[in-house]
Amino acid sequence: MDRTFVAPPVDDVQLQRQARPWVAELSGRVADKALLERLTRNEDADLAATVFYQSICAHPAHGAFIEAVDRQVLPEQSRPRRIKLFVVPAFLYREYPTLGGDGRHILHVARELGIDAQLVETASTGTVSANTEILRRTLANCDAGEIWLLSMSKGGAEVRLLFQQHGEAIPARRITHWFNISGLANGSQLVDALTHSTLRRMRLRALCLATGAQFHALRELRTDHALWQEPFTPPSWLRVINVLGVPLSSHVERALVTRYRRIRQLGPNDGMVLLPDAIIEPGLIYPIWGTDHYMRDARIIPTLYRLLTYFLDGRHPREEQEPRKGDRT
């Protein structure tokens, strides 16, 4: 099987035109999993991804937010900020640093903007539960007046579990922002597929032995794991910003081709998770067209500068406030 790309270049201009009637019917709401699954089954996963992306841009709050971030003027010089940013890294961030899961590029951008930024040194191959405890201890020892969290991939699950299980044991009200990037805070359909049968579990165990990963760490990321069955709503004072890639099949890079194909029949995904499940609600959404879970794209660094600067400047007019739950189809 050809594993260079999932598909040859797709005509996304025509896809955008085909998506317009579907987006119009949503009347400003974001396409939900049921609609995207139906579009994937009856039409095509690429059309479903396009409808999802356009519906976010057409949403009153998300659309205004996206436009405001894109208009953000970057400062020529940084100045010290009274904010502490903790970056919660991805799975296997030590073993595969070139994937960017260690957040080194994010730490660099934050420090260039005058933010005191620090990596939370979670166990690279560890479980969500164990890493959540590391995060809890790190935050408990922080005396900063305002704290921002930025999680990457599996780190999103650890931040969710932090609020879900330790909300009273952390300086919660000092945590004002959570940037959820390519988040797995609701589990991963890819992990579901990889652990679906005895044979697949045996293969995954062998892979874990080869990489030093804990098999239980992946089992915790099944969407039906007990950790993710409790309904989760972020604290009312916490501003959640969801940043996710929205790729067409032709956009997925080689490392994620097989993974994307495994769950494509379920709906549009980034190679690890169905796109709606990468979102924590209520929260703002900033989608990046044409990027997958790894977000290896020339727009990423400029977007990080604009996104962080936007919140540093404190420009949050009423029309850009995030919607509450129930603002989907």
Per-residue pLDDT at 301 exceeds 50: yes
Percent of the chain whose predicted confidence (pLDDT) is above 90: 78
Q: What is the mean pLDDT of the chain?
A: 91
Average of pLDDT values for 205-209? 69
Distance CA 6, CA 43 (A): 17
Q: Express each pLDDT in 262-295 by its tens digit.
A: 999 999 999 999 999 999 999 999 999 999 999 9
pLDDT at 318: 40
Q: Express each pLDDT in 243-252 by its tens digit.
A: 999 999 999 9
Determine the length of the chain.
329
Average of pLDDT values for 164-174? 81
Query: Tokens in use for 149?
Result: 């969290």
Task: Report yes or no: 149 and 159 within 8 Å, Cβ to Cβ.
Answer: yes
Domain annotation for the chain: domains and CATH numbers: 12-320 (3.40.50.1820)
What phi and psi, each to the nearest 5 degrees, are found at residue 147?
Answer: -120, 135
Distance CA 5, CA 257 (A): 6
Per-residue pLDDT at 100 exceeds 70: yes
Per-residue pLDDT at 222 exceeds 70: yes
Structure-model confidence comparison of residues 170 and 241, the more confident one: 241
Q: Express each pLDDT in 15-29 by its tens digit.
A: 999 999 999 999 999
The confidence band for 317, taking pLDDT boundaries of 50, 70 and 90, is very low
Sheet holding 116-119, edge to edge: 116-119, 84-88, 147-152, 175-181, 239-246, 284-289
- Number of helical (H) and strand (E) elements in the chain, helices listed first: 12, 6
Helix, strand or coil for residue 179?
A: strand
Nearest one of 121, 139, 141 to 131, comparing CA atoms: 121
Q: Which residues contact 43 (CB under 8 A, 6 or more apart)?
A: none
Residue tagged 């490392």 (tokens): 255
pLDDT at 288: 98
Structure-model confidence comparison of residues 214 and 298, the more confident one: 298
Across the chain, the runs of DSSP E, i.e. the strands, are 84-88, 116-119, 147-152, 175-181, 239-246, 284-289
Average of pLDDT values for 310-324? 63
The confidence band for 49, taking pLDDT boundaries of 50, 70 and 90, is very high
Average of pLDDT values for 199-213? 70
Structure-model confidence comparison of residues 112 and 74, the more confident one: 112
Query: Tokens in use for 271?
Result: 């190679």
Poorest-pLDDT segment among 99-103, 131-135, 142-146, 311-315: 311-315
pTM for the whole structure: 0.92
**Axis crossing angle, helix 300-312 with helix 104-112, rounded to the nearest 10:** 50
Burial of 7 (0-12, 13-18, 19+ CB in 10 A): middle
Distance CA 25, CA 243 (A): 25
